[in-house]
Amino acid sequence: MPETPRRARQAVTLGLVFGAVLLAGAATGAWGDPGTTPARHSSADAAPAAAAAAPVAAGQDPAGAALSQQQAEHLLGANGDRWGAYYSAQEYAEFSQGLDGRYLGVGLSVGRGQDGVTEVSQVQPAGPAAAAGIAPGDRLLRIGADQADHLPVTEVVARLRGREGERRVGSEVTLDVQRGDGEVREVRLYRTLLDSQQVAVEHLDKGVVRITVRAFTSGVAEQVRAAVQGARAGVVLDLRGNSGGLVEEAADTAAVFLDGGPVGSYQERGGTRELTAPPGGDQHVPLVVLVDGGTMSAAELLTGALQDRSRAVVVGGRTFGKGTVQQPSRLADGAVLELTVGRYFTPAGRSPEGTGLAPDVPAAGDEDADALALRVLAGLGTRA
């Protein structure tokens, strides 16, 4: 059974704040509160639910309209809007909180292998899960009274964050976990506000810095800027699996490596908005951008900007191909409906929508993309 836009969007939101969880869609970017002048670059693939026709004409801004959830979802389906989404006022507030770099949870990300086993993929340091001794690779057997392997991963993540009425600091979730063939143990975790930690910095040999950006939440650009200061021989900017995020943060991250000039543009109702970098970015440190099929939305905008401006060599696989713009509108009851209003483009006028962006140096087959990126970076350093 296909997901409704509301359910798919919820999965997307959870995917952003939990980072490594594989969901049906991927989280993406926003400019501000609905009802002002926001444009959201989102990546939720949603199938419409059957409902009565919504009282909003095609192309009309639904802000302030009295639409039920079913009417809103029907409007998305009638418009053929594969990236549009509906979600409640509470869900929107939580999503916005996640984009601010914080989320309510237990510091635990999960994934599901081909064998159907639900495993812990990431544990946030100093979070409730880490304090309870849970580690990556542990199997999650049960969440509450239900077997985790019998639930969709999106539902597992939703329950870790808390259902309606449970989404508050100090609320409890009970898990059964197992390490290897060891004893199954019951763990009680208490939700708290956590930093989403979307940037990881690794100092490699010979002055090379690898900067991994998982999503563009508030403050990411400044973290990247600080990390570049320690790079003497070059930077590998790893955007693999980056689900998007705040477009403004992606543009500011591009500006770290550009001395002014265009970053891209996007359409919205009534015109085109240009994104530009201020002068003063680092134009000299050798730069490789590492991408794959999970590099989406705002991350594709950043990749295209650095590629078109000949500032970086892009290595890896073709990106996902999400280049449309969504504008959120607040409905009469406080819920939010997002409708696709246009596309965004790289400085050279390319849109990644549907096709993605091709790397300059593709990683062939099972070739180690990390090693390839370092070889390319070494070559850039030699020529410099």
pLDDT of residue 13: 31
For 14, 83, 137, 150, the CA distances from 145, given in Å and listed in that order, are 21, 34, 22, 11
**What is the SS3 assignment for 178?**
strand
- pLDDT, tens only, 139-157: 999 999 999 999 887 688 7
- What structural domains and CATH numbers belong to the chain? 5-102 (no CATH), 105-195 (2.30.42.10), 199-323+343-383 (3.90.226.10)
**Pairwise CA distance, residues 83 & 81, whole Å:** 6
CA distance 290 to 317: 8
pLDDT for 197: 73
Model pLDDT, residue 96? 64
DSSP-derived secondary structure letter, 205: G
pLDDT at 179: 95
Model pLDDT for residues 21-45, shown as the tens digit of each residue? 222 222 223 333 454 333 344 332 2
Q: What is the pLDDT of residue 303?
A: 98
- Token pair for residue 58? 């095609």
Whole-angstrom Cα distance, residue 123 to residue 107? 6
HSE toward the beta carbon, residue 259, CA cutoff 13 A: 6
- The Cα–Cα gap between 268 and 380 comes to 38
Report the alpha-carbon distance of residue 142 to residue 183 in Å, rounded. Answer: 14
Looking up tokens 């639900």, which residue turns up? 118
Cα separation, 356 vs 354, whole angstroms: 6
Q: Among all chains, which residue has been given the structure tokens 């000299």?
A: 284
Q: What is the torsion angle, in degrees rounded to the nearest 10, for the CA atoms of residue 92, residue 97, residue 98 and residue 101?
A: 160
User: Three-state DSSP class for 148?
Assistant: helix
CA-CA-CA-CA torsion for 372, 374, 376, 380, nearest 10 degrees?
Answer: 180
**261 — alpha (psi -120 to 50), left (phi > 0) or beta?**
left
The pLDDT value recorded for residue 98 is: 55
Helix (H, G, I), strand (E, B) or coil at 96: helix
Task: For residue 195, give the 3-state DSSP assignment.
Answer: strand
What is the model's pLDDT at position 95? 64
Query: 3-state class of 67 per DSSP?
Result: coil
pLDDT confidence of residue 126: 82
- Strand partners of residue 140: 177
With a cut of 50, list the residues of the chain below it in pLDDT.
1-33, 35-54, 383-384
Q: How do beta strands 361-362 and 41-43 pair?
A: unpaired
Q: At what angle do helices 89-99 and 5-18 cross, to 10 degrees?
A: 30
The number of CA neighbours under 13 Å toward the Cβ of 284 is 5
For residues 201 and 210, what is the distance between their CA atoms, to the nearest angstrom?
6
The answer to whether residues 227 and 213 touch, using CB atoms and an 8 Å cutoff, is no
The percent of residues above 70 in pLDDT, for the chain, comes to 79
Show Cβ contacts of residue 106 under 8 Å, excluding neighbours closer than 6 positions.
127, 128, 129, 160, 173, 189, 190, 191, 192
- Axis-axis angle for helices 5-18, 153-161 (nearest 10): 70
For position 102, what pLDDT does the model report?
66
In this predicted structure, what is the pLDDT of residue 382?
Answer: 54
Q: Which residues pair with 118 in a beta bridge?
A: 112
The pairing of strands 102-105 and 108-112 is unpaired
